[in-house]
Amino acid sequence: MSNTEDKKLLEIKDLKVSFFTPAGEVKAVGGISYDLGYGEVMGIVGESGSGKSVEAYSIMGLLQSPGKVIGGSISFEGEDVLSYDKNQMIDFRGNKVAMIFQNPMTCLNPVYTIGNQLIEALRAHNKEISAHDASKRAMEMLELVGINNLEKRMKQYPHEFSGGMRQRVMIAMGLICSPKLLIADEPTTALDVTIQAQILEIMKDIQKKTGMGIIFITHNFGVVAEICDKVSVMYAGRIVEQGKVDDIYYKPAHPYTIGLLRSMPRVDAEEYERLIPIDGTPVDMCCPPEGCLFAPRCEKCMQICFKKVPPYAELGDGHRSACWLRVQEQMSGKEEQDNG
Amino acid sequence: MAKYTLKRLGMALITLLVIASLTFLLMNSVPGSPWLSEKSPSQVTIDALNEKYGMDKPVIVQLGKYLENVVQGDMGVSLNMQKNRPVVDIILEMFPVSASIGFIAIIWATLVGVTLGCLAAYNRGTWVDSLLRVVCTLGISMPTFVIASLLLLTFAGANEALRFFPTIFDASLGAKAYVLPCLALGLYPMCYTARQTRSSMLDALGQDYITTARAKGLRSPAIIFKHALRNALIPVITYLGPQIAFVFCGGFVTEQVFSIPGLGRYFIQSILNRDYPVIMGTTIFLAAFIILMNFLVDVLYKVVDPRIRFEGGGK
């Protein structure tokens, strides 16, 4: 017990990913760090282009040229993923870590049956398994994600499934090799709200049964509250705030997080309360400004914000925020303590 | 499937009827007659011949009579090229020669074209890709008679060391006789297929299901040949129908250059000689053949892409 608790499932340190485009280097991910314990569910929240997916793709080694990991480390159960050779990477993908994607309509190959694609995922990592056993396992997985009429469904093609059903198939396919980590890249974004709830329910359920870790990438705070233990809020390729779900919700400590939460509809809102959007547009990652990248859009920004990148202010229990306001508060708090 | 086949058959018959009628009318409106040669026969003889072969009646009546005969399996007899030999006989003798060359050509063109296309797509942007692009552009822009003549000059020409193949097609020589004609005939479709495969392969490789396949931990060969190629083949097959038609019609030129006793060459000669029944017979036969090939290609579609349904609409 203690052994697994000490060892983290996934540790990312100062990961930097850049895209080398003709227009110059685009720093999609500019040094992020986090860790994930066994069975933990972490949400990564941020707007489009904040580097959420790029970060996930680099864990899986799925970055396509011109994207490249240029710094930092990714370690999975203590092994350095970035130093894996081709064969190790193939063994890692799908077997130890699985990934499901945003658009279930296009993620399944239209010309092969569901059964074929499920069994293929299993056989890629388990060469000895017999055809019969593989098919049995595939059907078990389909049952697990709530698909009925298994014999018939196995022989059907993706176009005979609805979007929600296809996402279930994707989940079944991801989990067929019992991975320890599932990366879900906006798995509910393309689905309508009732189906979203069903998919989340299934993921939560399976997570409890299997105890796997999940990285849940989304831009929807509501979804995060449903399923996650902790949250990283990303902005322009950096994690601006990190902490337990409750801390982030009730004690948000970064102006960007506060802005995100304010721009989201709430059940407990006053009748005529309006949503408040965050002014401005995300920074151009081709030539990012100095200092805090959120400063140009921040209503509480100070002079120092334009000059130096804020360090993390530790707010206790893993809650930290990269904002000069918090850093200053802490410093003045310390001074008061010293004086008193 | 049965309903679909019947529907296609009905459409094919209508198509053939239109083609036959148009050809018949067009053929008769062109000046000249089968009886004219260096030594023109007397008017009396011509009239007698016209009466004998029913050519003294109005064109529309002739057409009616012809169609009636065709339905009964009688395509008439040759008027001057192989006098009084049934057209059906002639077609049955000549077609296998054209078909064997066309068949070999389309097979090698498709196999090599698809392979090169995959190779180019997989090595996109490298010298392999560039080289193949140059070769394919050349192959597409050079007319068949140029390619055929070049091949003849090189491998059956004055240079003793390189004279591997006969100048004139002779089926009794076996495989040797087929090499140059099949090469010449297949080059254009091969290049076309390669380009088509390259672009549809690149398209397929960029699809989300390829990312899924990679995320599953599949190896490159499985990703390329299982997941990408089958999807990439769908647009390639679309072009296969017209390409088969090209190989059999473009065969006219090849057959001429290599003096192959095939249907295409005979077809051209029959037009020059105004051998009306032979023109009609070969036209209808080739049209029917192309329609059949297109039907087979459509069936092949269904085999490759399960989303295609023959009945009741669907995608």
Domain presence at residue B79: no
A98 min Cα distance to partner chain B (Å)? 7
Domain presence at residue A111: no
Place of tokens 């000895």: A128
Name the helix (H) or strand (E) containing A49.
none
pLDDT at A1: 41
Mutate to test the interface with A, among B216, B236, B302 (most CBs of A within 10 A): B216
Alpha helices in A97-217 (DSSP H): 104-107, 114-123, 131-144, 150-154, 163-175, 193-210
Full pLDDT tens readout for chain A, 340 residues? 444 456 789 999 999 999 998 888 888 998 899 999 999 999 999 888 888 999 999 999 998 888 999 999 999 999 999 999 999 999 999 999 999 998 888 999 999 999 999 999 999 998 899 999 999 999 999 999 999 999 999 999 999 999 999 999 999 999 999 999 999 999 988 888 888 888 999 999 999 999 999 999 998 888 888 899 999 999 999 999 999 999 999 999 999 999 988 888 777 767 777 888 888 888 887 778 888 989 888 888 888 999 988 999 999 888 999 999 888 888 887 777 777 5
Instruction: Indicate if B37 and B115 belong to the same structural domain.
Output: no
- Better pLDDT: A230 or B81: A230
A-B Cβ pairs (cutoff 8 Å, strict): 76
pLDDT at A23: 85
Cis peptide before A66 (omega within 30 of 0): yes
Domain boundary among B36, B71, B106: B71
The gap between the terminal CA atoms of chain A, to the nearest Å, is 43
DSSP string for B208-276 = HHHHHHHHTT--HHIIIIIIIHHHHHHHHHHHHHHHHHHHHHTHHHHHHHTT---HHHHHHHHHHTT-H
Instruction: Indicate if B57 and B113 belong to the same structural domain.
Output: no
Distance separating alpha carbons of residues A295 and A256, to the nearest angstrom: 10
Question: Do residues A29 and A15 lie in contact, with contact meaning Cβ atoms separated by under 8 Å?
Answer: yes
Q: Quick: pLDDT tens for B6-65.
A: 998 999 999 999 999 999 999 988 888 888 776 777 888 888 888 888 888 888 899 999
Domain presence at residue B300: yes
Domain presence at residue A229: yes
* Domain that includes residue B66, residue range: 2-71
- Length in residues, chain B: 315
Domain presence at residue B90: no
Nearest chain A residue to B303, by CA: A111
Q: What is the per-residue burial (b if ≥16 Cβ within 10 Å, else e) of A79-94?
A: eebeebeeeebbebbb
Domain presence at residue A132: no
Domain presence at residue B81: no
Instruction: Indicate if B199 and B282 belong to the same structural domain.
Output: yes
Distance separating alpha carbons of residues A79 and A73, to the nearest angstrom: 10
With an 8 Å Cβ cutoff, is B227 touching chain A?
yes
Question: Do residues B216 and A173 lie in contact, with contact meaning Cβ atoms separated by under 8 Å?
Answer: yes
Instruction: Indicate if B143 and B238 belong to the same structural domain.
Output: yes
Domain presence at residue B80: no
Q: Which amino acid is at B259?
A: S
A144 min Cα distance to partner chain B (Å)? 19
Domain presence at residue A199: yes
Q: Residues A54, A56, A59, A63: is their CA dihedral positive or negative? A: negative
pLDDT at B312: 53
Q: Helices B229-249 and B175-205: crossing angle, nearest 10°?
A: 140
pLDDT band at B112 (very low <50, low <70, confident <90, very high): very high
B203 min Cα distance to partner chain A (Å)? 13
With an 8 Å Cβ cutoff, is A162 touching chain B?
no
Instruction: Indicate if B162 and B262 belong to the same structural domain.
Output: yes
For residue B212, give the nearest of A108, A111, A113 by CB distance: A108
B269 strand-pairing partners: none
Count of the separate structural domains present in chain B: 2
Mutate to test the interface with A, among B126, B212, B224 (most CBs of A within 10 A): B212
Instruction: Indicate if B53 and B157 belong to the same structural domain.
Output: no
Question: Do residues A247 and A319 lie in contact, with contact meaning Cβ atoms separated by under 8 Å?
Answer: yes
A246 min Cα distance to partner chain B (Å)? 32
Decide: helix, strand or coil at residue B80: coil
Domain presence at residue A71: yes
Interface of A with B in 33-62 (CB under 8 A): 60, 62
Distance separating alpha carbons of residues A43 and A222, to the nearest angstrom: 11
Q: Quick: pLDDT tens for B119-170.
A: 999 888 899 999 999 999 999 999 888 999 999 888 887 777 777 888 888 7
Q: Which amino acid is at A118?
A: L
pTM of the model: 0.82
Instruction: Indicate if B29 and B153 belong to the same structural domain.
Output: no
With an 8 Å Cβ cutoff, is A121 touching chain B?
yes
Domain presence at residue B178: yes
Which chain B residues have a beta carbon less than 8 Å from that of A101? Answer: 208, 211-212, 215
Instruction: Indicate if B212 and B275 belong to the same structural domain.
Output: yes
Closest alpha carbon to A234 in A251, A252, A218: A218
Domain presence at residue A253: yes
Distance separating alpha carbons of residues B312 and A237, to the nearest angstrom: 50
Instruction: Indicate if B222 and B256 belong to the same structural domain.
Output: yes
Domain presence at residue B309: no
pLDDT at B246: 67
* Domain that includes residue A312, residue range: 2-96+179-267+282-339
Instruction: Indicate if B189 and B275 belong to the same structural domain.
Output: yes
Which chain B residues have a beta carbon less than 8 Å from that of A120? Answer: 216, 218, 222, 226
Domain presence at residue A122: no
Q: Do B215 and A124 touch (CB under 8 A)?
A: no
Decide: helix, strand or coil at residue A138: helix
pLDDT at B250: 61
In the sheet that A10-21 helps form, which strands lie side by side, from edge to edge? A24-36, A10-21, A67-76, A79-80
Domain presence at residue A116: no
Question: Do residues B291 and B15 lie in contact, with contact meaning Cβ atoms separated by under 8 Å?
Answer: yes
Which residues, 6+ apart, have CB-to-CB distance to A216 below 8 Å? A41, A42, A43, A44, A184, A187, A223, A224, A227, A228
Which chain A residues have a beta carbon less than 8 Å from that of B209? Answer: 106-110
Instruction: Indicate if B168 and B218 belong to the same structural domain.
Output: yes
Domain with residue B276: its CATH number is: 1.10.3720.10
Count of the separate structural domains present in chain A: 1
Which chain B residues have a beta carbon less than 8 Å from that of A112? Answer: 226-227, 230
Domain with residue A29: its CATH number is: 3.40.50.300
Distance separating alpha carbons of residues B2 and B273, to the nearest angstrom: 43
Q: Quick: pLDDT tens for B165-195.
A: 888 887 777 888 888 999 999 999 999 999 9
- Better pLDDT: A232 or B97: A232
Instruction: Indicate if B243 and B165 belong to the same structural domain.
Output: yes
